[in-house]
Amino acid sequence: MNAAPQFEPAAGDTVLAARNIVKSYGGTHALKGVNFDIRRGEVTTLFGENGAGKSTLMKILSGVETPTSGSIELDGRPVVFSSTVDARDRGISIIHQELSLAPNLSVRDNIFMGRELRGATGLDFAEEARQTRMLMVDLEEDIDPMTLVQDLRLGQQQIVEIARALSVDSRILIMDEPTSALSATEVEVLFKVIRDLTARGVSIVYISHHLEEALQITDHAVVLRDGTITATGKAKNIDLEWIVRNMVGENFDLGSPPTGYAFGDVALSIDDVSIADVSGSDRLVVDRLSLDVRAGEIVCIYGLMGAGRTELLECVAGRLPVTGGRVLLEGDDISRLSIAERINRGLVLVPEDRQRDGLVQTMTVGANLSLASIGAFVKGMLLSRSQERSLIDGTIRDVRVKTAGAGAPIGSLSGGNQQKVVIGKMLTTDPKVMLLDEPSRGIDVGAKAEVFRLLGERAAQGLAVVFSTSEVAECLGIAHRIIVMRRGRISAQFGADVTKEQIMAASGEAVLV
Amino acid sequence: MTSASQNSSRSGPRTSSGGFSLAKLLLEGRAFLALMVIILVFSMLSPYYFSLGNFLTMASHVAIFGILAVGMLLVILNGGIDLSVGSTLGLSGVVAGFLMQGVQLQTLGVVLFPPVWVVVVLICVLGALVGLVNGVLIAWLKVPAFVATLGMLYVVRGAALLMTNGLTYNDLGGKPELGNTGFDWLGFNRLFGIPIGVLVMVVIAIIGSIILNRTAFGRWLYASGGNERAAELSGVPVKKVQVSVYMLSGICASVAGLILSSELTSAGPTAGNSYELTAIAAVVIGGAALTGGRGNIRGTLVGAFVIGFLSDGLVIIGVSAYWQTVFTGAVIVLAVLLNAIQYRRRVKLPGSNGGPSTSPQQAGKARTADPAHEKIAG
């Protein structure tokens, strides 16, 4: 596939480099001038919290996305990748965090998708199957090439994804969270494969949330925070504490828990709730979890990806059905109510993905803000425009949305202000309990602080707040109580005086001694 | 979108950028512009075209499509499509014809001749029922709108053919002694010189406009068409809204069916064949997005007039019917092409506050994520 390069750099030389890469999505800057080197025959590990920009950087290096500014150098010469195929032809391949397999096709067809082997008469299926079998032997996995991908469990699908990247014979292999669904033995095998590859001169970029695991394989560590590289170091000079310190940052004030009032009665009670996996496996994504939240209390749920945070919040809000257990709002069982009925009773959700679930892109800022409470302005049959208007203007002031006016298109706002619109929209329904799934995702530090301050103010007025996060620093801001979720269960509960290390240890991310 | 433009006009000072605004105006008012061009060109080509009499005649042709298109607009705003309206129109005419001939109640041994207003109400109920079936299939049983309404297109047309055995009801006038006269009034009479059909279209358009702009239902309709998931999480009863739009579309089709059979003084089971496509074309020419969430009544009506005035104009100057089809098709493609330009532009251009807009990729992602999720959920 890749043309053999004339000039073979020695081990440790830079093969691929990102120079001053900036990537913006509308108002948010995912990467702010990043320099990143990939060295020949080494494993470079990229550390960083969710939203730090790791995946964005990898997508740029593999041709999935183009940078807003900055350049990429391959073997010291600037290159522009027009597509992933272009990048692959130059020897760069990527294992995506989200699986990119076609579930309706066989393992063999997935591995050779887009670069099928030609034989004398049409495609050479036999050769494809033979190579697939060899890859599976390498990966010590007993998977028949003709098995449909949809019949494999998630970990095996990830193996297929890895096999596909290996089959291309790349010089540079980017692995974005390759082990999230793998068992411990499978991880061992993968690491053996990685060492084989580096010995042959292949460069690896490795990304993982499991810091200890990543530390085992890494030669060179790079830490990314808020779109900037904060530290780099050789494996022998670094330890877990160093990584955590640089990942999380120190001077990051997200406020403190509001005080000076007593909590009210239990507002939300999650009672022994289980939630089945949507994809149909027997696994419970949330496993007999119980949690009480009082009026005025702010509870933070921390957990890694796949810990079940999103499912829990969506279930409480009514989007997912409970498999077992009950959800009580002020003592009433609401487990069978629709989303709208729960909103009427005072339980609202600010969803994780505000583009997909939070905003109606075709409507104005004002229409988005009044959407949840629009039924309240109906006089006779018609809407009272003046009432709607004053509610919208009041909310814009209240949650401090920076906008040209209620008539501005929602897309004209920055990520942080869009998030405030989603929160403001739900606040107009006068809720008693507000759930927020990763409210700080994709917004900058200033907006984060503002969002948390807003939540603190509302909690002091008696709102029960439950928010989830995958950034440790955010647990240490306004939350009165921190819940750590791991594999669908609560693995630890802390007060506001907890340390980052304790939280990360409970989540299974890092065990510090 | 109407609510957007109304809000923005009241949201205080908005910077308009001089030279660009003319192009923007031309782009946004393109359907109206096209209508003006059509009138101008045909007036020059034919001395008969530019006269009040001809305009009223053409308007009464437009009325059928205009009424269908208003119903279709509601469905399209909601992100759906209704292919069954042509068949519903046909069935409505046939059932109306059947009722006008008198309903024989065998057990009682009497023949009932319902008065015209009863017929009208029953036919509207019939249209709503067809819409209800569509809506339940789509909202609750998760059948894709295209397939559900395509199925209903055949079923309803088949029902119309079965009822008449393929024949046509010719006598719709009723008899004074039976007290069921007046059906002709819909298609033939005029009020202040304007054909009743045109007035009905205007009334339906005004009601539609009020629903869209001044009711909570209208806002829910725009919201669930723009982003169903976000609307649902905001407490919008998305399923009820979805069922309702198909019912409203069905009612519009029935009304159009009544007017058409009254105009023709006959009700044939094949009436309204392929009218659904004309209605969709009118909506699209009127600037609505087939992905949902964008569009308004005014544009849709203009779209209906563009199609009607164009094809009648071609008839008047003696262009063959085959060429008419080609022209109509070309206009539709051109309209969609301009839609694509307009919406791409809206995404790319920064808002008036100078803030950066959402990247097209993100917007695209948000939109494409919807059906994918539905599939998983369903």
Residue with tokens 């946004």: B28
B13 found inside a domain = no
> Beta strands B103-105 and A347-350: pairing type?
unpaired
Q: How far is B110 from chain A (nearest CA, A)?
A: 43
Distance CA(B370)–CA(B135), nearest Å, equals 18
Q: Helix A184-199 to helix A154-167 angle, to the nearest 10 degrees? A: 10
Query: Does B193 reach chain A within 8 Å, measured CB to CB?
Result: no
Residue with tokens 């198909």: B246
Q: How far is B282 from chain A (nearest CA, A)?
A: 21
Question: What is the mean pLDDT of the segment spanning A354-374?
Answer: 89
The pLDDT tens digits for A217-267 are: 898 899 888 788 888 888 888 887 788 778 776 555 677 888 888 899 999
Residue with tokens 């596909």: A164
Query: Does A404 reach chain B within 8 Å, measured CB to CB?
Result: yes
B114 found inside a domain = yes
Which residues of chain B lie closer than 8 angstroms to A359, CB-CB?
227, 230, 366
Q: Which two tokens mark A140?
A: 């010590």
B376 found inside a domain = no
Q: Do A107 and A53 form a contact (C-beta atoms < 8 A)?
A: no
Mark yes or no for CB contact B358/A361 under 8 Å.
Answer: yes
Mark yes or no for CB contact B230/A358 under 8 Å.
Answer: yes
Distance CA(A228)–CA(A206), nearest Å, equals 18
Q: How far is B198 from chain A (nearest CA, A)?
A: 26
Q: Which one-letter amino acid corresponds to residue A284?
A: L
* Of the candidates B203, B184, B290, B189, the residue with the CA atom closest to the CA atom of residue B251: B203
pLDDT tier at A5 (50, 70, 90 boundaries)?
very low
pLDDT at B158: 94
From B366, which residue of chain A is nearest by alpha-carbon distance?
Answer: A356
Fill in the DSSP letter of residue A9: P
Nearest by CB to residue A411, choosing from B220, B235, B347, is: B347
* Domains, chain A, ordered by start: 14-91+170-248 (3.40.50.300), 105-169 (no CATH), 253-346+431-513 (3.40.50.300), 362-430 (no CATH)
Q: Do A410 and A402 form a contact (C-beta atoms < 8 A)?
A: no
Distance CA(A452)–CA(A399), nearest Å, equals 11
The C-alpha angle with vertex B121 and arms to B116 and B124, in degrees rounded to 5, equals 125
List phi, psi (to 5°) of A245. -60, -45
Coil, helix or strand for B272? coil
Fill in the DSSP letter of residue A399: T
Distance CA(B178)–CA(B119), nearest Å, equals 14
Mark yes or no for CB contact A356/B234 under 8 Å.
Answer: no
Distance CA(A319)–CA(B229), nearest Å, equals 10
**Number of C-alpha atoms within 13 angstroms, CB side, residue A482?**
28
Q: Do B300 and B282 form a contact (C-beta atoms < 8 A)?
A: yes
Which residues of chain A lie closer than 8 angstroms to B227, CB-CB?
356-357, 359-362
Distance CA(A169)–CA(A166), nearest Å, equals 6
Distance CA(B80)–CA(A259), nearest Å, equals 50
Distance CA(A29)–CA(B226), nearest Å, equals 26
Interface subset of A 279-318, CB within 8 angstroms of B: 317
The neighbour count for residue B354, using CB atoms within 10 Å, is 9
DSSP letters, A296-347, are: T-EEEEEE-TTSSHHHHHHHHHTSS--SEEEEEETTEE-TTS-HHHHHHHTE
Nearest by CB to residue A371, choosing from B9, B236, B350, is: B236
Has the ipTM of the complex gone over 0.90?
no
Range from A296-300, A302-306, B10-14, B34-38 that averages highest in pLDDT: A296-300
From A321, which residue of chain B is nearest by alpha-carbon distance?
Answer: B377
The pLDDT tens digits for A443-454 are: 766 778 888 989
Distance CA(A173)–CA(A92), nearest Å, equals 6
Q: How far is A401 from chain B (nearest CA, A)?
A: 13
pLDDT tier at A48 (50, 70, 90 boundaries)?
confident
Q: Do A309 and A475 form a contact (C-beta atoms < 8 A)?
A: no
Q: How far is B15 from chain A (nearest CA, A)?
A: 10
Mark yes or no for CB contact A360/B346 under 8 Å.
Answer: no
Nearest by CB to residue A359, choosing from B3, B227, B361, is: B227
pLDDT at B152: 95
Q: Do A27 and A415 form a contact (C-beta atoms < 8 A)?
A: yes
From B367, which residue of chain A is nearest by alpha-carbon distance?
Answer: A356
* SS3 sequence of A136-148: HHHCCCCCCCCCE
Measured on CA atoms in the order A500, A503, A508, A513, is the torsion positive or negative? positive
Q: Residues of chain A with pLDDT > 70: what percent? A: 93
Which of A318-332, A343-357, B93-107 shows the lowest mean pLDDT across its residues? B93-107
The pLDDT tens digits for A262-282 are: 899 999 999 999 998 876 667
Query: What CATH number does the domain containing B235 carry?
Result: 1.10.3470
Residue with tokens 């001939």: B101
Q: Helix A415-427 to helix A385-398 angle, to the nearest 10 degrees? A: 130
Distance CA(B231)–CA(A323), nearest Å, equals 25
Q: Which two tokens mark A55?
A: 């995946």
Which residues of chain A lie closer than 8 angstroms to B372, CB-CB?
none
pLDDT at B110: 75
- A65 against A153, higher pLDDT: A65
pLDDT at B22: 66
Report residue A244 CA to chain centroid gap: 18
Query: Does B220 reach chain A within 8 Å, measured CB to CB?
Result: yes
B226 found inside a domain = yes
pLDDT at B325: 84
Distance CA(B229)–CA(B42), nearest Å, equals 47
Query: Does A499 reach chain B within 8 Å, measured CB to CB?
Result: no
Distance CA(A218)–CA(A238), nearest Å, equals 11
Per this entry, what is the length of chain B?
378
Mark yes or no for CB contact A319/B7 under 8 Å.
Answer: no
pLDDT at B64: 93
Interface subset of A 411-440, CB within 8 angstroms of B: 411-414, 417, 425-426, 429
Residue with tokens 């060109």: B41
The pLDDT tens digits for A452-476 are: 989 999 999 999 999 998 777 788 8
Distance CA(A328)–CA(B163), nearest Å, equals 55
Q: Helix B297-316 to helix B275-285 angle, to the nearest 10 degrees? A: 120
Mark yes or no for CB contact B233/A357 under 8 Å.
Answer: yes
Mark yes or no for CB contact B227/A361 under 8 Å.
Answer: yes
B324 found inside a domain = yes
Q: Do A429 and A317 form a contact (C-beta atoms < 8 A)?
A: no
Nearest by CB to residue A25, choosing from B1, B220, B359, is: B359
Query: Does A78 reach chain B within 8 Å, measured CB to CB?
Result: no
Average pLDDT over all residues of chain A: 84
For chains A and B, what is the number of CB pairs under 8 angstroms? Answer: 169
Mark yes or no for CB contact A362/B353 under 8 Å.
Answer: no
Which residues of chain A lie closer than 8 angstroms to B214, CB-CB?
382-383, 385
pLDDT tier at A56 (50, 70, 90 boundaries)?
confident
Nearest by CB to residue A364, choosing from B7, B230, B370, is: B7
> Beta strands A266-276 and A324-329: pairing type?
antiparallel
Q: Which two tokens mark A417?
A: 């202000």
Beta bridge partners of A234: A220
Q: How far is B232 from chain A (nearest CA, A)?
A: 7
Q: Do A99 and A157 form a contact (C-beta atoms < 8 A)?
A: yes
- Whole-angstrom CA distances from A1 to A6, A39, A86, A167 are 15, 21, 11, 10
Distance CA(B209)–CA(B215), nearest Å, equals 10
* Of the candidates A341, B217, B174, the residue with the CA atom closest to the CA atom of residue B225: B217
Distance CA(B24)–CA(B342), nearest Å, equals 9
Q: Do B76 and B290 form a contact (C-beta atoms < 8 A)?
A: yes
pLDDT at B145: 92
Mark yes or no for CB contact B215/A409 under 8 Å.
Answer: no
**Number of C-alpha atoms within 13 angstroms, CB side, residue A3?**
6
From B6, which residue of chain A is nearest by alpha-carbon distance?
Answer: A407
Query: Does A14 reach chain B within 8 Å, measured CB to CB?
Result: no
Q: How many domains does chain B have?
A: 1
Which residues of chain A lie closer than 8 angstroms to B294, CB-CB?
362
pLDDT at A12: 64
pLDDT at B344: 64
Q: Which two tokens mark A353?
A: 């993905």
Structural domain of residue B232, as residue ranges? Answer: 62-344
Interface subset of B 118-147, CB within 8 angstroms of A: none
Mark yes or no for CB contact A408/B353 under 8 Å.
Answer: yes
Nearest by CB to residue A383, choosing from B216, B235, B359, is: B216
B349 found inside a domain = no
pLDDT at A249: 67
pTM reported for the whole predicted model: 0.76
The pLDDT tens digits for B135-164 are: 999 999 999 999 999 999 999 999 999 988
Listed as ranges, residues in chain B with pLDDT below 50 are 1-19, 346-378
